[in-house]
Amino acid sequence: MAPRVDPVQSDSVTPTRTRVVVVGGGIIGASTAFFLARKGVPVVLCEKGYIAGEQSSRNWGWCRKMGRDPREIPLSIEALRLWRELNTLTGAETGFRQSGILYLCKTADDVAKREAWLEQARPFQLDTRLISRDEVARVLPGLAGDWQGALYTPSDGRGEPQKATPAIAEAARHHGATILQQCAVRGIETQGGRVAAVVTERGRITCDSVVLAGGVWSRLFCGNLDLRLPQLKVMSSVMRTEALDGGPEASCSGFGFGLRKRLDGGYNVASWSGNVVDIVPDTLRFFGDFLPALRLQWRQMRLRIGGKFLEEWRVPRHWSLDAPSPFERVRTLDPEPYEPILRQARDSVTAAFPAFRDMKVAESWGGVIDVTPDAVPVISGVDTLPGFFIATGFTGHGFGIGPGAGRLMADLVTGDTPVVDPTAFRYSRFTDGSRPQPSPLA
C-alpha cells in the first residue's frame, strides 16, 4: 500500500519555454527546483505520478552524516545544516528533529568496524563518538538486551518523508517554479549537439538545461540518449506502527531492525537486511560494474528470479518521442513489501525495546532503491551532452542528503561556485575507466 503523502498543487498550463526542466519530483528534483527558483531561474518540475510518490515518501526518514562514505560527508554536513532551517526556508513542517542516531553494537567486531569508520571520518570533525553501554542506556531508555555500546551522532536527525518533499515542492512553487504532476518527460531534443527541449506527454518545452532526477528510472531515460548509466534496483520494505508510548526519541539500528519516531507518535520500523534484488536483464549487463558491491553486500540481499526478468526484457530501450513512453505506463512504483523480513524486524525490535511488544502495524509498503556500483550518487553535468545534468543513484541514503544535493545541483546548472567539491559525484567516473569502488565501511 502506498503511504499517504501531503498533496501538492499542480500548475494547469504547460509552459512552452523555460530555462531549466527538472525530470522527477522526489526529494532530489524538488530540492533542485527549489534552489534554482530561489536563485530566480525559471524552472519547470515534471513528475510522471505525484510528488514524492516513489522512494522519497517510502524511506525510513533518517537524516545522517554518520556511517557515510567519506566522499559524501561534506555534502551531508551541508544537508544537515539545511535540514535545521528547512521549516523556515519552506514555511512548512518537514518533520525535522535533531534527535540523534545510533548504530548499536552487539559484538566486539561491530565495535571495531564502527571504530574504523570513526577513524576515517576524523578529518571532518563530526560530533560522532563511540559510547559505552551505560551511555547507550541513557540515550535510549527502555532498551533491553546486552549491547557492547553504540556509534552515536547527536547532531543527526529525522525528517518526515511524507511531508518534507511536498513542502519543498510547494516552496519551489512559491518562488516561481512550475510544478506539473501526471506529466512524464518522454525524452530530450538536441540542437547542435546540446539540449534544446524536452518532450513531455503534455507537449514540448524549449529549455537550456535538463536535470534528470528520476530515481530508479534514470538508467532507462539515459539509455534512450545512448548514455550508459550503471544503476540497479533493490526493493526494501517498511512498516508503520500506530502511536505508542515508551519508545526512543533517537533513531537507531540494531541486530535485525532500524527505527525512527514519527511526528504522529508512531514509528517506522524496518531492517537493513532482507532487501530483494530481482534478477533482470540489467543485472547481467552491469554485472562487472557491481561485482565489488555484491561481494560486500550479498549477505544483506535476497536474489530473486521470476517474472520481473521478462517484464523488464519487454520494456523498450529506445523509443520515439511522439508516442507514449515507458514512463507513462507505470505512474508510481508501488511494490508489495517482503513480509518475512518485516516479521523478522518486528521480532528484533520487540526483543530490543519491550515497549514495542503491543505495537500495532498500521500499514506497510515496499520502495525501490536506485543503486550505483560505488554506492555514491551522480550529481553532475554530462560532458558529451551540454545542458544535460544528472542527480541520481542515491543508493538508499538520498533522503537525508537530499536538500544538499539539490543545492549542489542548482549551483552546477547555473555555473555558480559549488557548495562542496563535486568531483566524487561526476558521471564520467563510469565512462573514463576509473572503476569506482564502494567504501567497505559505509
Minimum gap (Å) between residue 108 Cβ and ligand FAD: 27
By CB under 6 A, tell whether 238 contacts ligand FAD. Answer: yes
The window from 40-48, 133-141, 149-157, 293-301 that contacts ligand FAD (CB under 6 A) reads 40-48
The window from 35-43, 58-66, 105-113, 240-248 that contacts ligand FAD (CB under 6 A) reads 58-66
Give the separation between CA 329 and CA 308, rounded to whole angstroms.
15
CA atoms within 13 A on the CB side of 287: 5
Closest CA to 400 of 49, 54, 83: 83
Total site size for ligand FAD, rule CB under 6 A = 39
Residue nearest to ligand FAD (CB): 26
By CB under 6 A, tell whether 337 contacts ligand FAD. Answer: no
N-term to C-term CA, the chain: 30
Question: Which cell numbers hold the place of 60?
Answer: 525510513
The residue type found at 55 is: Q
Minimum gap (Å) between residue 107 Cβ and ligand FAD: 24
Within 168-197, the residues that bind ligand FAD by CB under 6 A are 184-185
The residue type found at 71 is: R
What's the gap between Cα 13 and its chain centre?
29
Among 394, 425, 427, 430, indicate the residue that binds ligand FAD (CB under 6 A): 394
By CB under 6 A, tell whether 28 contacts ligand FAD. Answer: yes
By CB under 6 A, tell whether 58 contacts ligand FAD. Answer: yes
The DSSP bridge partners found for residue 150 are: 104, 131
Minimum gap (Å) between residue 56 Cβ and ligand FAD: 3
Among 56, 153, 181, 253, indicate the residue that binds ligand FAD (CB under 6 A): 56
Among 128, 181, 224, 236, indicate the residue that binds ligand FAD (CB under 6 A): 236
Angle at the Cα of 417 from the Cα atoms of 411 and 421, rounded to 5 degrees:
90
Minimum gap (Å) between residue 327 Cβ and ligand FAD: 4
Per-residue b or e along 152-165, where b marks 16 or more CB atoms closer than 10 Å to that residue's CB: bbebbbbbbbbbbb
Other CB atoms within 10 A of residue 127 CB? 12
The window from 25-33, 118-126, 132-140, 342-350 that contacts ligand FAD (CB under 6 A) reads 25-33
With 0-12 / 13-18 / 19 or more C-beta atoms within 10 angstroms meaning exposed / middle / buried, residue 344 is middle
Among 5, 8, 20, 23, indicate the residue that binds ligand FAD (CB under 6 A): 23
By CB under 6 A, tell whether 60 contacts ligand FAD. Answer: yes
What's the gap between Cα 195 and its chain centre?
26
With 0-12 / 13-18 / 19 or more C-beta atoms within 10 angstroms meaning exposed / middle / buried, residue 39 is middle
Other CB atoms within 10 A of residue 70 CB? 16
Nearer to ligand FAD, 353 or 365 (CB): 365
By CB under 6 A, tell whether 400 contacts ligand FAD. Answer: yes
By CB under 6 A, tell whether 369 contacts ligand FAD. Answer: yes
Among 8, 20, 33, 47, indicate the residue that binds ligand FAD (CB under 6 A): 47
Among 149, 215, 248, 387, indicate the residue that binds ligand FAD (CB under 6 A): 215
Binding mask 291-330 for ligand FAD (x = CB under 6 A): ------------------------------------x---
CA atoms within 13 A on the CB side of 18: 27
State the pairing for strand pair 157-158/62-63. Answer: antiparallel
Binding site for ligand FAD (CB under 6 A): 23-29, 46-49, 53-56, 58-62, 184-185, 213-215, 217, 221, 236, 238, 327, 367, 369, 392, 394, 396-400
